[in-house]
Amino acid sequence: MKLDTLLTEQRNPASAGIDRMSTAELLRVMNAEDHKVADAVEAALPRIGEALDRIAEAMQAGARLFYTGAGTSGRLGVLDASECPPTFNVPPDLVTGFLAGGDGALRRSVEGAEDSPEQGADDLEAYGFQQGDVLVGIAASGRTPYVVGAMRRARALGGTVISLACTTEAEVSKHAEIAIEVLCGPEVITGSTRMKAGTATKLVLNMLSTGAMIKLGHVYGNLMVNVQQTNEKLRDRARRIVEQALEIAPEEARQLLAKASGEVKTAIAMHLLGVDAAAARERLQGANGNLRQAVDAGTRAH
């Protein structure tokens, strides 16, 4: 597909005269275009849901999730992956993001790196991708050679391959088992996919990683019960999570956490199941760390 035919390369008539607009006018145009992104993501929810279920199933079987892309797409993948360990206390290699040009491209663009499918394939293997793992190939334009190369190699290795693009009939869609196309339309600045396409990508990646963590039992209600308590803010959040989950006073939450050696899920399980820390940990282990399942099983037993 020629570049000039891509949806992401089309001119947006709403912003054709943006260089002559007042500040208020140009901001209204940008904001109006941004409003279209959520609707475009909504239209893609069925495929996003398929992808989420495959990712969760793979993780439950011990596999990992990888994101790859170039430029903004690659940076957003790395961002989403890097937020999973502190938010959900999962191993740092459970979700991995890598991009064309390597980690140096996070800060300084390496534009030519995206043109090598061979490098994409080699980088995928260098990160240890193996059979059963899942790769999400992100390409706003839908045709990044680096991403296509990684996707081809992932399929050859026996992995699950998902694509995420912001154009129709994307090249990456042809190499994916599940193809997500979020059609948010031409950018305010022609071809600047760090804008609407970047926002759409961020929303979809949020859904995939957060949804998978929910299905793995790393939240209870809407509380991040696996939070890493690495600073004072997060220690305070842990106390508030216990307080909110159990509807108890702050001091009681502190005492529970102390008895649970600071483990949020253990503290909640202790209170709800009426057991000590050791028994709570045993119940959680029997439920593969899923607090909801441990609590529900304990409640049924009584």
Considering only residues 44 and 300, tell me which one the structure prediction assigns the higher pLDDT.
44
Report residue 234's pLDDT band, with 50, 70 and 90 as the boundaries.
confident
Say whether both 207 and 267 belong to one domain.
no
**Which pLDDT does position 16 carry in this prediction?**
92
The one-letter code for the residue type at 88 is F
Q: Which residues, in sequence order, are CB contacts of 140 under 8 Å at separation 6+?
A: 8, 72, 73, 165, 166, 167, 193, 197, 198, 201
**Which pLDDT does position 191 carry in this prediction?**
86
Question: In whole numbers, what is the pLDDT of the chain averaged over residues?
Answer: 93
- How large is the average pLDDT for residues 3-20? 83
Say whether both 125 and 237 belong to one domain.
no
Say whether both 188 and 133 belong to one domain.
yes
- Structural domain total, the chain: 2
- How large is the average pLDDT for residues 54-73? 96
- How large is the average pLDDT for residues 239-246? 96
Share of the chain above pLDDT 90, in %: 82
Residue 274 lies in a domain: yes
pTM of the shown model: 0.91
Is residue 154 a contact partner of residue 78, using CB atoms and an 8 Å limit?
no
**Which pLDDT does position 11 carry in this prediction?**
85
Say whether both 28 and 157 belong to one domain.
yes
- How large is the average pLDDT for residues 238-261? 95
**Which pLDDT does position 3 carry in this prediction?**
67
How confident is the model over 27-60, as pLDDT tens digits?
Answer: 999 999 999 999 999 999 999 999 999 999 999 9
How many angstroms separate the CA atoms of 196 and 185, rounded? 8
Residue 237 lies in a domain: yes
Residue 225 lies in a domain: no
Q: Which element (helix H / strand E) includes 297? A: helix 291-301
How many angstroms separate the CA atoms of 177 and 41, rounded? 19
Report residue 199's pLDDT band, with 50, 70 and 90 as the boundaries.
very high
Report residue 241's pLDDT band, with 50, 70 and 90 as the boundaries.
very high
Say which CATH number the domain at 280 has.
1.10.8.1080
Say whether both 175 and 26 belong to one domain.
yes
- The last residue of one of the domains, among 184, 215, 246, is 215
169-126-209 Cα angle (round to 5) = 55
Active site residues: 83, 114
Considering only residues 299 and 104, tell me which one the structure prediction assigns the higher pLDDT.
104
Say whether both 208 and 295 belong to one domain.
no
Report residue 8's pLDDT band, with 50, 70 and 90 as the boundaries.
confident
Q: How far is CA 62 from CA 67, 93, 94, 247, 267, in A?
A: 17, 12, 9, 34, 26
Q: Which range marks the domain in which residue 261 is found?
A: 232-301
Report residue 300's pLDDT band, with 50, 70 and 90 as the boundaries.
low
Examine the pLDDT at 299 and tell me if it is beyond 80: no
Say whether both 198 and 255 belong to one domain.
no
How confident is the model over 78-94, as pLDDT tens digits?
Answer: 999 999 998 898 999 99
- The last residue of one of the domains, among 169, 186, 215, is 215
Say whether both 71 and 129 belong to one domain.
yes
- The last residue of one of the domains, among 185, 215, 245, is 215
Residue 182 lies in a domain: yes
| Bridge partner residues of 20 (DSSP) | none
Say whether both 67 and 116 belong to one domain.
yes
Say whether both 40 and 156 belong to one domain.
yes
Residue 188 lies in a domain: yes
Reduced to 3 states (helix: H, G, I; strand: E, B; else coil), residue 266 is helix
Residue 220 lies in a domain: no
Residue 35 lies in a domain: yes
Say whether both 106 and 166 belong to one domain.
yes
What are the tokens at 243? 């307080």
Say whether both 140 and 239 belong to one domain.
no
**Which pLDDT does position 301 carry in this prediction?**
60
- How large is the average pLDDT for residues 134-140? 97
**Which pLDDT does position 19 carry in this prediction?**
92
Residue 21 lies in a domain: yes
**Which pLDDT does position 4 carry in this prediction?**
62
The one-letter code for the residue type at 67 is Y
**Which pLDDT does position 38 carry in this prediction?**
97
Say which CATH number the domain at 99 has.
3.40.50.10490
- How large is the average pLDDT for residues 253-274? 95
